[in-house]
Amino acid sequence: MTNKVLTCVGCPAGCRINVEMEGDEIRTITGNTCPVGEQYARQEAVCPMRILTSTVRITGCPYRVLPVTTDREIPLASVDEVMEIIRSTVVKAPVSFEQVLIENVLGTGANVIASKSMPAA
């Protein structure tokens, strides 16, 4: 039996969650104060997932970069590879709020979308 202590990133409360594991199997989850915590711990113990936010280059407007985010969590382990794709992406204004800029990035099932609208100059 192994014991993992996790800090939940589901909300600012940052609950400390105890996960008891036997091999790859979760036995008990304690310390969470809401269902988000349990879901987080269940996922975190086997494959940590994160929302990734960054910026992409933009042309055709007064700004050089546009803030972007994945529209769902991606595996933490694939963050570096996804960043390489994001860093080599250039978009052109105008861009609308939550417009899909990179579809199904790295086959994760997540799209990279615009975090804000950007009108053309």
Partner 1 sequence: MMKKYSAVVIGGGSAGLAAGITLKENGIEDVLVIEKDDMVGGILNQCIHNGFGLHTFKEQMSGPAYAERFKVRAEEVGLNIKLKTMVTHIHEDRTIEYVNPQEGYVTIQADAIILAVGCYERNRGALAIPGQRPAGVYTAGQAQRYLNIDGYQVGSRVFILGSGDIGLIMARRMMLEGAKVYGVAEIMPYSNGLPRNIKQCLEDYDIPLYLSHTVTNIYGKDRLERIEVSKVDEKLRPIKGTEMYFDVDTLLLSVGLIPENHLGDEAGIAMDPRIKGPSVDENYMCSIEGFFACGNGLHVHDLVDYVTLQAQRAAMGAVHYLKNGKPQEKECRVMPGKGVLYTVPNRIHPHNIDKTVEFFFRINEPVDEAVITVRCGERVLRQVKKKYLVPSVMERMMFTAKQLADIDGDITFEMEAVSHDE
Of 25 and 29, nearer to partner 1 (C-beta) is 29
Residue 61, interface with partner 1 (CB under 8 A)? Answer: no
Minimum gap (Å) between residue 93 Cβ and partner 1: 14
Strands 16-22 and 53-59: unpaired
Residue 48, interface with partner 1 (CB under 8 A)? Answer: yes
- Contact segment (CB under 8 A) with partner 1 among 13-21, 22-30, 100-108 equals 13-21
- What are the residues whose beta carbons fall under 8 Å from the beta carbon of 111, sequence distance 6 or more? 70, 71, 100, 101, 102, 103, 104, 105
Binder of partner 1 out of 46, 65, 100, 120 (CB under 8 A): 65
Residue 83, interface with partner 1 (CB under 8 A)? Answer: yes
Residue 35, interface with partner 1 (CB under 8 A)? Answer: no
Residue 8, interface with partner 1 (CB under 8 A)? Answer: yes
Question: Which amino acid is present at 66?
Answer: L
Interface contacts to partner 1, rule CB under 8 A: 6-14, 16, 48, 50-55, 57, 63-65, 67-69, 76, 79, 83, 87, 97-98, 115-117
